[in-house]
Amino acid sequence: MNKYPAWLNALVLTILVAGIILALPNIYGSAPAVQLAQRDGADVTTSQLEEYVRVVENAGIESEAAYIADGRAVIRFEVAESQRVAGDLLRDNYRRTSNVALTLAPKLPDWIRMLGLNPMSLGLDLRGGVYVLLEVDMQSAIESRLAAYERDIDERMRDARIRARAELDNQVIRVRLANAEDLDEASRVIREADQDLIISEATDGRSITVRMTEEQIKARQDLSIEQNITTLRNRVNELGVAEPLVQRQGSDRIVVQLPGVQDPTQLDKILTATATLEFRLVDLSGNERGSRNYPGRGTEPSQILKRDVIASGDQIIDAESGFSEGQAAVFITLDAAGGESMFKTTQENLRKPMSTLFIETSRETIMVNGVPEQRTVKTEEIINTATINGIFKNRFQITGLNALEARDLALLLRAGALAAPVYKIDERTIGPSLGKDNIERGFNAIQIGFLAVVVFMAFYYRWFGMVANVALFSNLVFIVAVLSMLGASLTLPGIAGIVLTVGMAVDANVLIFERIREELSAGNTAQGAIHSGYEKALSSIADANITTLIAAIVLFAFGTGPIKGFAITLTIGIVTSMFTSIIGTRAIVNLAFGGRRLKTLPV
């Protein structure tokens, strides 16, 4: 009686060994390192890694280890000073081809790394860094899409030889026709542009109003969020931040967490900047439809520019800052469509001027009747006007900026323009000393809680209490193993979840052991008491843990940030504690006491 079959004992042992192996990477600690990733997204090759190491060693800097992880080169050092010098050296040598970031790399033995095992990462509250919460301007996202519809409708009307003019006002495009007889044909042309648009005739009999549907607006907002997340990730990579976190929060917000960054001022402009460029011809006649006067920056004169955009920032696939004839310059590379448009324009407009229009959106606070209100400000200014002296396609340069402006603009253009403006609404900086203190306090809490439970269980339940303590330790191992396997980040609320799990994990064994005591007091045999203790306490244990598990799942589904971190560790802890407290302890008890004639039990 009270014996597991051999296969079940083997399964329990296998799960325990697997948990120990998965948790093992967490005991080795970390060391300062430099991480290099290819700008084009390709994996780093072994020959490239050897080249990086050779550059470092030729400078007299000794590395501790070098390897490729997740397609990125990682070079580890003994001290932070070597890391800093090596990072500057590699950044100078490979700025054009690689993103170079300073990070902390786990000090894993080769055999663990070859198995693909990694320690769990530390959240921002433990590691230190910058937390930024951004709000996406959904109104601008919709207006930019409607502006594109407006330009498209104008072009289609010209192609269809319909005299009309499209004007955008308050998310409604009004198409004014010269002849009322063209209403049906104009509606058909607009319908061809997008059949989902809401098209209706105005009361004046000579105009058509065009609106986006609610479904189109929602899709545009979601697309803007996703595009902005991609762009922000690219910008953070350009800054050389290792292991950044950029994710959506709610309907219109984006969270950016940058581990290891301690100076948020360098990030403000890069993260929230909506700077982009448009290349337009100068309207020499000054009377073309849609032409508009734009101011110049600094000494650059104002110009009347044509409405048609030759190429824009979203068609730029590469941008590098440098100098040309002693002036700061940005060297531009366009995609195929932009290159074709530029080629056709320069071919047809030799000896005519073309301007570079710089566009940036910002938010400022103004007082209205004594109440502060946020207002969106769009800045459009000409930074360069040059005569087209030759035919070119997708490679050219622009000037008119100082060296710092050229560098920042090149970075923004490389990373891509934001689909909609974003504005910072919250920012927190956690210093590395605070992160270290958080780690020490968190793990001290786990140790104190663990030891208190161990002493109580050993004193109160004797040998059965020691069995519960083995299960409790195994439970901690399994929690760490699962977090490592999932690649989850351990946060301070996550540590709170672990501490709570430590206290809850023994509840099941307390119920079981108390039931065994009751059975023994009622005159049941030792084997019968063990069997009844586990069988009769199971329903109570299941009820208590399932209700807590439901609460943890709800917290994870609807919570954000710290609440999710707490819910993750609590959920994992409940599942693993059910295994260790019921199946694990039963296996040990069966091996120690099962199948034997015993008059009493050490419980």
DSSP string, 303-370: EEE-SS-SEEGGGEEEEEEEEETTEEEEEEEE-HHHHHHHHHHHHH-TT-EEEEEEEEEEEEEEEETT
Percent of the chain scoring above 90 in pLDDT: 6
For residues 506-526, give the mean pLDDT.
85
The pLDDT score that the predictor gives to residue 431 is 65
Q: Is the pLDDT of residue 335 over 80?
A: yes
Instruction: Provide the pLDDT confidence category of residue 323 given band limits of 50, 70 and 90.
Output: confident
Per residue, what are the HEC states of 35-68? Answer: EEEECCCCCCCHHHHHHHHHHHHHCCCCCCEEEE
Q: Is the pLDDT of residue 410 over 70?
A: yes
The pLDDT score that the predictor gives to residue 240 is 64
Residue 403, Cα to own-chain centre: how many angstroms? 30
The pLDDT score that the predictor gives to residue 560 is 67
The pLDDT score that the predictor gives to residue 267 is 66
**Comparing 342-351, 470-479, 528-537, which segment has the lowest mean pLDDT?**
528-537
- Domain 139-217 indexed as CATH 1.25.40: no
Instruction: Provide the pLDDT confidence category of residue 281 given band limits of 50, 70 and 90.
Output: very high
Q: Which of left, alpha, beta for 297 (phi over 0: left; psi -120 to 50: alpha)?
A: beta
11 versus 365: the higher-pLDDT residue is 11
Q: Domain spans of the chain?
A: 6-24+433-593, 31-107, 139-217, 274-402
Token digits for 73?
């080169």
Give the tens place of pLDDT for each residue, 547-594: 888 988 888 887 766 787 788 888 998 889 888 888 888 888 888 887
For residues 1-23, give the mean pLDDT.
87
**Comparing 176-190, 204-218, 440-454, which segment has the lowest mean pLDDT?**
440-454
Q: Is the pLDDT of residue 242 over 70?
A: no
DSSP letter, residue 241: B
For residues 387-409, give the mean pLDDT.
82
Give the tens place of pLDDT for each residue, 501-515: 877 778 888 888 888
Superfamily name with CATH number, domain 31-107: ACT domain (3.30.70.260)
Q: Is the pLDDT of residue 393 over 80?
A: yes
Give the tens place of pLDDT for each residue, 477-502: 999 999 888 877 777 788 888 878 87
Domain 274-402, CATH: 3.30.1360
Percent of the chain scoring above 70 in pLDDT: 93
For residues 469-479, give the mean pLDDT.
90
The closest alpha carbon to 276, from 141, 403, 379, belongs to: 379
Q: Is the pLDDT of residue 305 over 60?
A: yes
Q: How far apart are CA 9 and CA 365, in angstroms?
A: 68
Give the tens place of pLDDT for each residue, 419-439: 778 888 888 777 665 566 777
236 versus 73: the higher-pLDDT residue is 73
Count of alpha carbons within 13 Å of 20, Cβ hemisphere only?
8
The pLDDT score that the predictor gives to residue 260 is 65
412 versus 267: the higher-pLDDT residue is 412
Q: Which of left, alpha, beta for 323 (phi over 0: left; psi -120 to 50: alpha)?
A: beta
The pLDDT score that the predictor gives to residue 15 is 92
Across the chain, mean pLDDT equals 83
Specify the fold of 6-24+433-593. Answer: Multidrug efflux transporter AcrB transmembrane fold (1.20.1640)
